[in-house]
Structure 1
């Protein structure tokens, strides 16, 4: 980071990661800054792992810096560097939003669970509620942890968790309690019977990654299908689900909604997610 001159200090935030060139967060926050006529900056900040501790320690010393978003691979490593973390970040085991407090201390939170559930609320069919039946989650990584916390907090009483490594699914079930039921990867299709929601949190189906192979024959026609992947925006899973009549929610909404709390904390305005924002963030 480079400090601003004293006579041109403006509110600043950014996203740290390694690499970080692919991040769409600057488009997201830049849109909101312009929409609300705010003076501020939001930058991509490449931080290699060996420099993370020093960067975080220096953050409160930077004139105008209000905080940062945190992406791969720093979400876990940044946890012990915070003076305080919220309960959701503690349960997920990762921080994605850092706020510099008025006293210079650092507060870490995780807005991924909020972003996930808000995207479902915004884009699911009218009347659909997460607590109406079992949920099926594919994957057991960091994104899955955020989705699990969001769904348990939303009242889901049964969450079936399928992962290519059953050991990771079992470990998450042990951590989050009896509502989470591990499912062998080979049994993932049969476990769709009776579900109210199917969520893919793996990288399968993402551009450049292997496809997600799962038969949807046993998926109820009313089940909502969500893929947190947003490149491509319409994954093969979503296309197949929509083709058989299931309501679907793409992965972009989670990205957009998770940015709302951080923007409000840094720049003092509560932003909203609109079709115009979606277009701006997707634009090349």
Structure 2
């Protein structure tokens, strides 16, 4: 039986096991997928324990950057963004890294009718913010604003990444967020509740907010944006699309049962509301 897992910390409430198990059931694969809490210092030891029963794994915070130098091979997307959320274990035991977050983010936006975004503001400076910059570039944006609590750290983390992507990223402090919420597309790449303090800063206008949060939903930040006239895209479509791409890469079967994965995730969320 092939094993897969989600690695990261903390993993309370993670939907990846639900999504993957729904996909395997629909595809008739007797595979297993579990959540395994893992800190950055534990990751090398975990990778050393892998055997031929493993088909791959997914990575969430705080491992997306940590894993990259530990892999045998990475895709061009991983090289550009500097983060991997997907690993395929080949039959020969090689670890191949991919970033399906970019696919998931762009696909979720396109599903919502967003095919171009001349101006983009990104909230946050972590691995998901790097993905947001790459998504902005895919949507035709060559200059973006990044709002960060620690601008010095943000410059060190995002500077080289933005250069590899081909986008100019201007780093602004948290206090300047209100001045940049009127752009065509705002992407909140922050964890749950982290953007809520900015909710009162929305002013009436048009544009799109993508908030990567999927639980609780809507976030206070997303609700305020909608009340101010913005179109809102939540994190669940992105999560489902990126997981579907993982399933294709890790199983070798296409297409993934996206609709069944979405229904399973919605059922799981509603169960605990």
Alignment of 1:167-206 (within 5 A): 167-171=152-156, 172-173=158-159, 175-177=161-163, 179-193=168-182, 195-203=183-191, 205=193
Say whether 1:115 aligns with 2:104: yes
CA deviation after TM superposition for structure 1 residue 96, in Å: 1.2
Say whether 1:249 aligns with 2:233: yes
Counting matched residue pairs gives 264
- Cα separation, 1, equivalents of 2:240 and 2:136: 18
Name the counterpart of 1:72.
Answer: 61
Name the counterpart of 1:106.
Answer: 95
CA deviation after TM superposition for structure 1 residue 81, in Å: 1.5
- Cα separation, 1, equivalents of 2:39 and 2:122: 31
- Cα separation, 1, equivalents of 2:192 and 2:84: 24
Name the counterpart of 1:7.
Answer: none
1:59-117 deviation per Cα after TM superposition (whole angstroms, max 9, x unaligned)? 2x242x11111122322222121110112212222221110113221101111111111
Retained in 1: the 8 A contact 2:214–2:236? yes
Gaps of 5+ in 1: 1-9
Name the counterpart of 2:136.
Answer: 151
Higher helix share: 2
Calculate the aligned-residue CA RMSD, in Å: 2.3
| TM-score, with structure 2 as normaliser | 0.86
- Cα separation, 2, equivalents of 1:105 and 1:174: 27
Mark the structure with the bigger radius of gyration.
Answer: 1
Alignment of 1:128-139 (within 5 A): 128-131=114-117, 133-139=118-124
Gaps of 5+ in 2: none
| TM-score, with structure 1 as normaliser | 0.83
CA deviation after TM superposition for structure 1 residue 271, in Å: 1.2
1:102-153 deviation per Cα after TM superposition (whole angstroms, max 9, x unaligned)? 322110111111111111112x2x4x3233x201111111211111112113
Retained in 1: the 8 A contact 2:9–2:61? yes
SS at match of 1:189: helix
